[in-house]
Amino acid sequence: MSGGGKTGLTATLNRGWWQTRKWLVLRRVSQLGILGLFLLGPLAGVRIIDGNLSSSLLLDTVPMTDPLLFLQMLVAGFLVPAGTAVLGAALVMGFYLLVGGRVFCSWVCPVNLVTDAAGWLRLRLDLHGGINLARSTRYWMLALVLLLALATGSLAYELVNPVSLLHRGIIFGLGSAAFVALALFLFDLFVARRGWCGHLCPMGAFYGLVGAVSPVRVRADQRAACDDCMECFVVCPEPQVIRPALKGAEAGRGPVILAGECTNCGRCIEVCPQEVFAFGLRYPNRERGQGSETRSSPGLSKGAAT
């Protein structure tokens, strides 16, 4: 396995700087560009998007509502049936059903900038250890968020939701959000690798469930060329999703990464010296030249590393 400082080096030498970082650069452009659109109103009076990631209005016409917030509203029992919140949640949900639920995490969420920075520094400093959290913990967190809304009849989680706090803080003034960002950075750096996004975040859990049926996927069609350098596992924020597609040929598993936890960040595509991975669709999920469709199993990620 390549060391942290050398990950992607062979791919860079083979294909050049841009080809081995284009998805990373485009993700940062997307994350910062979305933040910039929200900031245009308060800073320059140019109102393209008003609001925040929880609830916003595009071009003073198109509503957008965080589907998890909408679900909390339903559970809490104070949503007015029909209206802009319903339409906004449907539009956002439809988009992530199409492109992958956790595209929100890697291409939109401002917390990802913080946790990616911690992950990058942890790799460079070659830090190991910390607490071992089960990745299923985030689903328990999601259930807790909904139970909290049901029990209190309020959007209680939104008072402490790091995603909402950081996004509102960037737009309207950091304040306590800066401490939230620092706490998440230190937690991911010293306590648990990819601790928040990969193990605890209930929004990530929700979007992971949404993304389980999305057609846009990362494919490992060239998996026969894999030389076990393991660089894709090093850079992947959810490495447990790779193995079934990359190493599942003998078990009859197709080359498509089907797990909803995949964030479609594209880092595995970039760093692979053998160019095993590429973006594509979930169908067909079979080896090249194979006549029959490989059955998609919901249990593909079971037993994978955490």
Share of the chain above pLDDT 90, in %: 67
Please give the model's pTM, rounded to 2 decimal places: 0.87
> Number of C-alpha atoms within 13 angstroms, CB side, residue 246?
24
Tens digit of each residue's pLDDT (9 = 90 or more) over 85-129: 889 999 999 999 999 999 999 999 999 999 999 999 998 898 988
Paired residues of 256 in beta bridges: 219
Tokens encoding 121: 């520094």
67 touches 226 (CB < 8 A): no
Tallying the residues shown for the chain, one arrives at: 306
Paired residues of 1 in beta bridges: none
What does DSSP assign to residue 79? P
Cα gap 7→235, rounded to integer Å: 8
The larger pLDDT score, comparing residue 185 to residue 170, is at 185
Cα gap 106→129, rounded to integer Å: 24
Cα gap 304→63, rounded to integer Å: 39
Tens digit of each residue's pLDDT (9 = 90 or more) over 2-12: 445 578 889 99
Tens digit of each residue's pLDDT (9 = 90 or more) over 208-236: 999 999 999 999 999 999 999 999 999 99
223-230-191 Cα angle (round to 5) = 135
The phi-psi region of residue 141 (left if phi > 0; otherwise alpha if psi is between -120 and 50; otherwise beta) is alpha
60-65 long-range contacts, Cβ below 8 Å, gap at least 24? 62/91, 63/87, 63/88, 63/91, 64/88, 64/91, 64/92, 65/89, 65/92
Cα gap 35→170, rounded to integer Å: 8
Q: Which of 44, 40, 68, 41 is nearest to 55 (CA)?
A: 68
Quick check: 291 pLDDT over 60? no
User: How confident is residue 298, by pLDDT bands cut at 50, 70 and 90?
Assistant: very low
**For residue 150, what are the CA distances in angstroms to 104, 147, 154?**
25, 5, 8
Quick check: 290 pLDDT over 60? no
Domains and CATH numbers, the chain: 9-210 (no CATH), 215-281 (3.30.70)
The single-letter code of the amino acid at 50 is D
Cα gap 235→228, rounded to integer Å: 14
Return the sign of the alpha-carbon dihedral for residues 268, 6, 185, 166: negative
